[in-house]
């Protein structure tokens, strides 16, 4: 292929990525007291959005830089005072999120179930888990999932100094970029324990704070039936569901999603992720 033909092809991919980005972020609504920035789409960059038009094997051969802003340039975001708690209720949308992984014992089974039903989800990963399970993050990218930053070691941020918080977040964004293909645009504080530094640093790094609406309580290992009931009774338009694919024995989580995911689909919910396809 001639060089100029390649350039034309990449421009077309970027145009498609911009359209997808606009559609995806338009669905985010804000927690009370939040700022307005989440409704604006990020600048289009070559990344996982662009790769949707390519087979995974072809994507690996594509250069990712050269047009538009550098991939590493963070969006300029206003500093929020509260995290985002839910997404748009239109179209009976819900969003699934999985924290603390990736983990080789559980994450592949969850990815298999999501693939079976052609559903995309968000994975808030810890850097130290990514470091030893890089191939699972690459699989998330190839299968269209969105990866967010959940710090390196999962500390309680409210007990740390600003320098330590910055290190926890920055190292994790670095390894996500290296394994996933772009820097994360979403951050979730461990234990849902947010503070001013986390909001400020996250915004400076181009990440929006994402919390959740419904906790499956799977981290308490309450039994498969309880987890299923938490999801099914909490299901509603706009709800963000919190599950965990690591951090303990998550076999109940793995079994429960095989039940509650088809239930949500049969109930007419549209399971979506921000920024990527919706």
Catalytic positions are 99, 244
- The residue range among 49-57, 93-101, 175-183, 193-201 that interacts with Zn ion, by the rule CB under 5 A, is 93-101
**Residue of minimal Cβ distance to Zn ion:** 99
Q: How far is the CB of 19 from Zn ion (least distance, A)?
A: 33
Residue 218 touches Zn ion, criterion: CB under 5 A = no
Q: How far is the CB of 121 from Zn ion (least distance, A)?
A: 15
- The residue range among 28-36, 37-45, 74-82, 97-105 that interacts with Zn ion, by the rule CB under 5 A, is 97-105
Q: How far is the CB of 115 from Zn ion (least distance, A)?
A: 23
CB of 100 or CB of 208, closer to Zn ion: 100
Per-residue x/- mask for Zn ion, residues 45 to 84, rule CB under 5 A? ----------------------------------------
Per-residue x/- mask for Zn ion, residues 167 to 206, rule CB under 5 A? -----------------------x----------------
Size of the site for Zn ion (CB under 5 A): 3
Q: How far is the CB of 188 from Zn ion (least distance, A)?
A: 7
Q: How far is the CB of 244 from Zn ion (least distance, A)?
A: 7
Cα separation of 192 and 120, whole Å?
Answer: 23
The 3-class secondary structure across the chain, one letter per residue, is: CCHHHHHHHHHHHHHHHHHHHHHHHCCECCCCCCCCHHHCCCCCCCCHHHHCCCCHHHHCCCCCCCCCCCCCCCCCCCCCCCCECCECCHHHEEEEEEECCCCCCCHHHHHHHHHHCCCCCEEEECHHHHHHCHHHHHHHHHCCCEEEECCCCCCCHHHCCHHHHHHHHHHHHHHHHHHHCCCCCEECCHHHCCCHHHHHHHHHCCCEEECCCEECCHHHCCCHHHHHHHHHHHCCCCCEEEEECCCCCCHHHHHHHHHHHHHHHHCCCEECCCCCCC
Please report, as residue ranges, which positions from 98 to 117 form the binding site for Zn ion (by CB under 5 A).
Answer: 99-100
Residue ranges binding Zn ion (CB under 5 A): 99-100, 190
């Amino acid at each position: 292929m001639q060089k100029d033909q390649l350039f034309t092809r990449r421009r077309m991919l970027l145009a498609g990525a911009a359209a997808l980005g606009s559609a995806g972020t338009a669905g985010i609504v804000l927690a009370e007291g939040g700022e307005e920035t989440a409704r604006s789409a990020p600048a289009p960059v070559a990344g996982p959005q662009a790769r949707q038009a390519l087979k995974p094997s072809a994507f690996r051969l594509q250069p990712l830089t050269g047009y538009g802003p550098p991939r590493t340039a963070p969006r300029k975001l206003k500093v929020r005072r509260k995290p985002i708690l839910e997404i748009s209720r239109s179209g009976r949308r819900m969003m699934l999120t999985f924290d603390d992984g990736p983990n080789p014992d559980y994450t592949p089974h969850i990815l298999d179930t999501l693939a079976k039903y052609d559903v995309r989800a968000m994975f808030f990963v810890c850097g130290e888990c990514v470091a030893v399970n890089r191939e699972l993050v690459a699989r998330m990218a190839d299968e269209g999932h969105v990866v967010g930053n959940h710090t390196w070691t999962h500390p309680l941020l409210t007990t740390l100094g600003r320098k330590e918080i910055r290190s926890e977040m920055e190292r994790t964004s670095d390894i996500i970029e290296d394994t996933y293909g772009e820097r994360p645009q979403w951050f979730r504080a461990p234990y849902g324990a947010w503070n001013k530094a986390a909001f400020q640093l996250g915004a400076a790094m181009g990440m929006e704070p994402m919390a959740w609406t419904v906790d499956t309580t799977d981290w308490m290992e309450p039994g498969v039936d309880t987890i299923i009931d938490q999801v099914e009774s909490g299901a509603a338009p706009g709800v963000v569901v919190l599950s965990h694919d690591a951090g303990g024995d998550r076999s109940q989580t793995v079994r429960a999603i095989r039940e509650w995911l088809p239930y949500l689909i049969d109930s007419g919910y549209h399971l979506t992720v921000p920024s990527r396809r919706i």
